[in-house]
Amino acid sequence: MGILENGDNMEQYQTPLFDVLKKHSEQQPISFHVPGHKNGYIHWDRKSEPFYRDVLSIDATELTHLDDLHSPEGAILEAENLLAAAYGVQKSYFLVNGSTVGNLAMIMGVIQEGDIVFTQRNCHKSILNGLQLTKATPVLLEPEYHQQWGVAGGVTVKTVKEAYEAFPHCKAIVLTYPTYYGMVYELTPIIEFAHERNIPVLIDEAHGAHFIGGDYYPDSAIKAGADVVVQSAHKTLPAMTMGSFLHINSTLVSTKQINHYLRILQSSSPSYPIMASLDLARHYIATYKLEDQRYLESMISSFKGKLNEINGITVLTYPGSFGDPLKITIQSTTGLSGFELQELFETAGVYTELADPYNLLLILPLLKKDAFYPFDEAVQRIRKALGTKNSAVEMGNRHIPNYFKKNTFSTLYLDQIQQKSIGTVPIEQSEGYICAESIIPYPPGIPILIPGEEITKEIVESILLLLETGGRFQGSSELINRKINVFK
């Protein structure tokens, strides 16, 4: 593995799936098959046609020479084999429904009903959904908390060991690496500890598909020996939205079982434009060279420097000074919330990945040498937009509630409480109740509350803070009335 070692590996310049689609489209085929737009022959109207024309010409279906994602033997298999070679794993799969489907299949393919599974509390909702579908018993590990950022990070090996002492029948560990904000942590000792006990470690690496791009980036969980790794190629590689990868890196898990669930969970009509973009994205990262890395490094360093010179904002430094360089987290120095900053950036036409009460998160492009990106234009617009704006919400003397803080490892025995009736309580009075719904600030899609979880003082404070500063939520019907569904 390692792009720099095989940056000149000619094999990785091939794009077999894209090539067969291109060839097919160039033959001016006559379609008597799905999809109904017939290679783009049927137009909706003039205004949409220019946007879709080219992409519809490769929006094909499982014709003989175009292979079949669910039973690949030709171009798709070749493309997946190149993917596995680029990442240095046994087997890789293309995913057309994001890391969401990868996380579900990885969990359902490895974990059985009733299994005790360790997972960090600040995981994406797809992890918790997967555990719920398998009827596993999650033991939620408390992540480290970074006070200055006001966000949770990874888990320590100490936490994993303590959890193992309390739950020695643990059957699997599911972790998120890196975090949404680009923080990384020491995975190797956790994986070694788990493997000594034959426990597989499954990693949601949704934000780390580019980590094989060289030493400017943190190591991928694959290098640390994780058994299964899921990556959203569409998040940091140039792939179409929903395009993702699943890698199998061990014999401790069953490839057959994971593939079985992928076949169940993925569409029987997977999108060829998405799959071809995965082929191209793999080619892009697998041919990423040292000179590309050095170029991007200097572009990012200059961009960060210029952002830091703008009055009213500061670029945060990663805890331990190392994290994903493609992520930049900004805070206001004049008391603006992250949401207010985001709004100001948007008035200047600069759109960011997410905001929270304190931070604004930017995801940068994985440029190759000499590629242009309008960083300077962005700096100018941001400087102008910030002007002399003052805060509407007083963040001055910040108390940052840590809603992941728990005294013990919390377990969710949903089946034991599901019989109870559900009612609503005002958020301010909800401390001590057991929550009956998921409350998920989105983005990032990390639940603040999940059904079966006790509502603590910190959780109440966090929800109120998010509501006051402009957070958006998924999953709750009552929050609009400042209420929460709870078990009575």
Q: Which residues of 99-122 are buried (b: 16+ CB within 10 A; e: fewer)?
A: bbbbbbbbbbbbbeeebbbbbbbb
Which region among 99-107, 361-369, 417-425, 476-484 touches ligand PLP (by CB under 6 A)? Answer: 99-107
Using CB under 6 A, which of 94, 149, 180, 375 touches ligand PLP? 180
Question: Could you say whether residue 402 binds ligand PLP (CB under 6 A)?
Answer: no
Which region among 25-33, 98-106, 160-168, 424-432 touches ligand PLP (by CB under 6 A)? Answer: 98-106
Nearer to ligand PLP, 100 or 337 (CB): 100
Which region among 25-33, 96-104, 413-421, 429-437 touches ligand PLP (by CB under 6 A)? Answer: 96-104
Which residues pair with residue 434 across a beta bridge? 454, 487
Using CB under 6 A, which of 92, 232, 287, 469 touches ligand PLP? 232
Nearer to ligand PLP, 232 or 456 (CB): 232
Nearer to ligand PLP, 176 or 332 (CB): 176
Using CB under 6 A, which of 88, 319, 445, 470 touches ligand PLP? 445
Nearer to ligand PLP, 76 or 242 (CB): 242
Question: Could you say whether residue 124 binds ligand PLP (CB under 6 A)?
Answer: yes
Question: Which residues neighbour 26 within 8 Å (Cβ) at sequence distance 6 or greater?
Answer: none
Using CB under 6 A, which of 12, 39, 119, 126 touches ligand PLP? 126
Residue 98 CB, nearest approach to ligand PLP (Å): 2
Burial class (CB in 10 A: 0-12, 13-18, 19+), 415: exposed
Residue 231 CB, nearest approach to ligand PLP (Å): 9
Using CB under 6 A, which of 7, 16, 40, 98 touches ligand PLP? 98
Residue 111 CB, nearest approach to ligand PLP (Å): 17
Residue 185 CB, nearest approach to ligand PLP (Å): 14
Question: Could you say whether residue 244 binds ligand PLP (CB under 6 A)?
Answer: yes
Which region among 13-21, 94-102, 145-153, 182-190 touches ligand PLP (by CB under 6 A)? Answer: 94-102
Which region among 97-105, 338-346, 447-455, 461-469 touches ligand PLP (by CB under 6 A)? Answer: 97-105
Nearer to ligand PLP, 16 or 154 (CB): 154
Residue 372 CB, nearest approach to ligand PLP (Å): 27
Residue 126 CB, nearest approach to ligand PLP (Å): 5
Torsion of Cα atoms, 42 then 46 then 51 then 53, to 10°: 30
State how far the Cα of 462 lies from the Cα of 443, in Å rounded to an integer. Answer: 15
Nearer to ligand PLP, 170 or 230 (CB): 230
State how far the Cα of 459 lies from the Cα of 450, in Å rounded to an integer. Answer: 11
State how far the Cα of 359 lies from the Cα of 356, in Å rounded to an integer. Answer: 5
Site for ligand PLP in 201-230 (CB under 6 A): 204, 206
Count of residues that interact with ligand PLP, criterion CB under 6 A: 14
358 neighbors 395 (Cβ within 8 angstroms) = yes
| CA torsion through residues 401, 207, 72, 256, sign | negative
Count CA within 13 A, CB hemisphere, residue 479.
24
Residue 130 CB, nearest approach to ligand PLP (Å): 11
State how far the Cα of 304 lies from the Cα of 291, in Å rounded to an integer. Answer: 20
Using CB under 6 A, which of 92, 137, 176, 293 touches ligand PLP? 176
Question: Could you say whether residue 303 binds ligand PLP (CB under 6 A)?
Answer: no
Site residues for ligand PLP per CB under 6 A: 98-100, 103, 124, 126, 176, 180, 204, 206, 232, 244, 444-445
